[in-house]
Amino acid sequence: MPITLPSGFQITSKDPIDSRITVADQAARLAFSEVNVYNGLVVYQRDTEELYVLNDTGSWDVNSGWSLVGSGGGGGGDIEYVSGSTPYKKIGGIEVLDFDDNVIVEYNAGTEVLKFVFGIPPNPVPAVTNTAPTYDVDRFNKVLHTYGVTANFDLGSNVLISASLFETTVGDTKLLQGPVGTGGSFVISENTSGSRDYQLVITSSNPATGVINKQIANLDLNLNKSLAAIPTIAYTPDVELGASGLQIEEGATGSIAFLATEGAGNGWVYHVGSLTTSPPTSPITLVSSDTAAKSIFATADYSSSGVAGADNDPALKPSNFANARRTSATRTYSRIISVRGGASANTTFTESELQNLNNWVSGAGSVEGGVIQKGTTNPNGASVSITWTGNKYQYIVYDASLSNLTAIKDAALNLNVLGPDGAFTGLFATVGGYKIYRTAALQAGGAGTTQGYNLER
């Protein structure tokens, strides 16, 4: 029969009121008498700092009759596993039978984690990378910039012994982080100028072999300052027969106006007054006696930014020109001799008459039906059409630097008229830079006769 108390116990010693409330170890907990236990009995086990409750009085003397409800580390609860289609089963303990040197079992008392390692772990693969914000390479070497550096140990299953992050820039070598024996990475923010070099050094032990390994990872961040842009030149040609393809017909007159502008600085400072052009005046006037190519170019000087170029060491400025920046732009117009044809009573032409383009294209000169195929310098495959009235010689003219024609074919008859018995007996003359083919005899023309030729060489 239970005893009824009108009020509670008042305990005056450190002993528990019930000897079952606390036990020394598992053996003591499982040694209770069958008649001295009940479902719901709560017992504290001192050696493991665990709290158990009995939930099966028929199994009071084995662990399966008890449930773990708490521990001194703040954890608690059962470890369970499932096999195939069976329900989850509680694990009362883990027994390891290790018959293979390539299987490693480690228990961390602090984290209470049991680790199994199968095989020999590979060595760590440390890495140092630039992480956001990105390192700006386009700077002068004294300009400060903030960027991130992350060093990952990447130990795998190896055990860290020591890790240190250094800056190894020449003249500025120093320890940035470490040495540490725990963790997996260093993350730092840097604010520096110039190029910078970093090195991560880690030592670790391989749990399978016990070998101590040392790995090094490097990161080189190098400046690559972009150059000042090249000056730009705007060109406005006004030339006989035009200047397309940067080609000007020999003997053409006219002018080329141009305007130079210094390029974008890309952080460089334009040296005022250094923009020059050659020729120094605009426009360039072309005269009929010109035969050489015409080149126009511009240059400009730039210095590093800051007071007296102090954003770079050494300062980059015109007085230290080996390290400064000079940019230039050039455009070249080439003189050419294009294929031409026409009819004239003249028995020949001088070089100056050949260079007078009005004789060949205006109809007011000494050549009738003249045409200059501006830009077509190679007669091979070219066609010439001549229209004239009265008795005239027919002329075909092209660049004397090219080889002789092998055929002049009547466009209508596809008949070669170049040869001893043809209308054109052969090369008639070379005058200056021109080869001239002329019919051996005057060719009769009615009121506007047209004759076409296809040329081959």
Inform me whether the pLDDT recorded for 166 exceeds 80.
yes
Give percent above pLDDT 90 in the chain. Answer: 58
Kindly report whether the global pTM for this prediction surpasses the value 0.75.
no
* Most confident by average pLDDT, 190-199, 322-331, 349-358: 190-199
pLDDT of 264 reads 81
Q: How far is CA 383 from CA 245, 421, 453, in A?
A: 21, 22, 6
pLDDT of 1 reads 53
Confidence of residue 19 (pLDDT cuts 50, 70, 90): confident
Inform me whether the pLDDT recorded for 422 exceeds 80.
yes
pLDDT of 77 reads 55
pLDDT of 2 reads 61
Kindly indicate whether the domain formed by 127-221 is annotated with CATH number 2.60.40.
yes
CA distance 253 to 108: 94
What is the per-residue pLDDT across 47-80, written as a single tens digit (0 to 9) for each?
A: 988 899 999 988 989 988 998 887 765 545 566 6
Q: How many CB atoms lie within 10 A of CB 260?
A: 19
What is the per-residue pLDDT across 124-140, written as a single tens digit (0 to 9) for each?
A: 999 999 999 999 999 99
Confidence of residue 283 (pLDDT cuts 50, 70, 90): confident
Residue 338 token pair: 């294009």
Angle formed at CA 24 by CA 58 and CA 36, multiple of 5 degrees? 35
Contact, 73 vs 49, CB < 8 A? yes
* Most confident by average pLDDT, 38-52, 83-97, 268-282, 377-391: 377-391
Helix (H), strand (E) at residue 198: strand 196-205
In this predicted structure, which of 216-220, 223-227, 364-368, 427-431 has the lowest mean pLDDT? 364-368
pLDDT of 441 reads 97
Residue 22 token pair: 């606390």
In this predicted structure, which of 88-92, 150-154, 280-284, 375-379 has the lowest mean pLDDT? 88-92
pLDDT of 410 reads 96
Which residues are registered as beta bridge partners of 127? 152
Q: Which of 13, 47, 9, 7 is nearest to 27 (CA)?
A: 47
pLDDT of 80 reads 62
CA distance 444 to 449: 8
Q: Which of 339, 400, 347 is nearest to 370 (CA)?
A: 339
The single residue listed with the structure tokens 């040495």 is 179
Contact, 448 vs 387, CB < 8 A? yes
pLDDT of 7 reads 66
CA distance 413 to 422: 13
Confidence of residue 92 (pLDDT cuts 50, 70, 90): low
Which residues are registered as beta bridge partners of 393? 344
pLDDT of 244 reads 93
Q: Which of 345, 357, 245 is nearest to 293 (CA)?
A: 245
Contact, 126 vs 138, CB < 8 A? no
Mean pLDDT of 289-305: 87
Backbone angles phi, psi at 129, to 5 degrees: -135, 155
CA distance 207 to 101: 11
Q: What letters, b where the CB count within 10 A reaches 16 and e where it falls short, cover 92-101?
A: eeeeeeeeee
DSSP 390-422: SSBEEEEEEETTSPPPSEEEETTTTEE-BSTTS
pLDDT of 15 reads 73
SS3 content of the chain, % helix, strand, coil (to 5): 5, 40, 50
CA distance 449 to 453: 14
Mean pLDDT of 278-282: 86
> Would you give the DSSP letter of residue 57?
G
* 187 three-state secondary structure: strand
CA distance 122 to 131: 26
CA distance 366 to 358: 9
Inform me whether the pLDDT recorded for 9 exceeds 70.
no
> Would you give the DSSP letter of residue 271?
-
Mean pLDDT of 346-375: 87
Task: Please provide the average confidence, as pLDDT, over all residues in the chain.
Answer: 88
Inform me whether the pLDDT recorded for 293 exceeds 90.
no
